[in-house]
């Protein structure tokens, strides 16, 4: 007798979580391919989540990449009692909320649930309760990302700061730096690769 659909779904969810936790442990040890697998597994889901909140495709890809960079820099704070997908969705959601507040974008609906691969989360505005541990982790993550940005060659550091700190559009950056638009996009892509490499090396030496 074959398992019921519900049992099959529970088994898939369990197997997915076990796989994620093993990939996280490998990534913390410095295995870049392990985190790349996690990124590949959840990229489309995070992209779709961000798109529902932001609606601007150029901004969406940037915010998706930012979410993975922040997750990567915080892997050591991940609690294996939870699903990685839930943790990652929270990081992406908070990132979007910060972006919306900074840019004063039109608000999105917070009433409709957002389904994840594990069907474990509905969207909610994060509570403002002070959590000392979270505050410390956030500060450590910001410091680590800042160190990673400072480690970049000047031409990459400049475009990353203009894009992610000052939130300039690609075209604005091209005009400010007198560079072709394609060069700006290529520099930002390469800068993100270098940020991942720096964070990977730092995690390995903790």
Among the listed residues 66, 32, 39, the one whose alpha carbon sits nearest the alpha carbon of residue 191:
66
The architecture CATH gives domain 1-126: Orthogonal Bundle (1.10)
Tens-place pLDDT, residues 92-135: 888 888 887 777 655 444 344 444 444 444 333 344 333 445 56
Q: DSSP assignment, residue 152? A: S
Comparing 58-62, 118-122, 157-161, 166-170, the range with the smallest average pLDDT is 118-122
Q: Is the pTM of this model over 0.75?
A: no
Break the chain down into helix, strand, coil percent, rounded to 5.
75, 0, 25
In the predicted model, is pLDDT for residue 179 greater than 60?
yes
Is-contact 143 73, C-beta < 8 A? no
Burial bucket for residue 7 (CB in 10 Å: 0-12, 13-18, 19+): exposed
Tens-place pLDDT, residues 128-159: 333 445 565 667 777 778 888 888 888 888 88
Domain with CATH 1.10.10.10 in the chain: 133-206
In the predicted model, is pLDDT for residue 174 greater than 60?
yes
State the average pLDDT over residues 38-55: 88
Structure tokens at 196: 């991942």
In the predicted model, is pLDDT for residue 15 greater than 90?
no
- pLDDT recorded at residue 21: 92
Domain with CATH 1.10.1740.10 in the chain: 1-126
pLDDT band at 23 (very low <50, low <70, confident <90, very high): very high
Backbone CA torsion sign across 170, 109, 86, 38: negative
Mean pLDDT score across all residues of the chain: 77
Comparing 47-51, 100-104, 161-165, the range with the smallest average pLDDT is 100-104
- pLDDT recorded at residue 126: 40
Ordered DSSP codes for 33-64: HHHHHHHHHHHHHHHHHHHHHH--HHHHHHHH
Structure tokens at 8: 């099959």
**What is 133-206's CATH number?**
1.10.10.10
């Amino acid at each position: 007798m074959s398992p019921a659909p519900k049992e099959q779904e529970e088994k898939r969810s369990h197997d997915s979580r076990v796989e994620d936790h093993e990939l996280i442990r490998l990534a913390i040890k410095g295995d870049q391919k392990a985190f790349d697998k996690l990124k590949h597994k959840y990229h489309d889901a995070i992209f779709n989540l961000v798109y529902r909140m932001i609606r601007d495709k150029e901004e969406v890809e940037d915010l998706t990449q930012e979410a993975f960079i922040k997750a990567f820099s915080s892997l050591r704070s991940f609690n294996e009692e939870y699903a990685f997908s839930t943790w990652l969705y929270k990081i992406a959601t908070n990132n979007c909320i910060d972006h919306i507040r900074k840019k004063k974008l039109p608000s999105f609906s917070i009433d409709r649930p957002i389904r994840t691969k594990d069907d474990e989360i509905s969207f909610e505005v994060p509570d403002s309760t002070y959590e000392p541990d979270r505050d410390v982790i956030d500060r450590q993550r910001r410091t680590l990302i800042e160190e990673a940005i400072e480690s970049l060659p000047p031409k990459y550091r400049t475009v990353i700061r203009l894009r992610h700190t000052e939130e300039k559009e690609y075209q604005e950056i091209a005009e400010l730096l007198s560079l072709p638009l394609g060069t700006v996009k290529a520099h930002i892509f390469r800068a993100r690769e270098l940020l991942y490499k720096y964070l990977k090396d730092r995690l390995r030496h903790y």
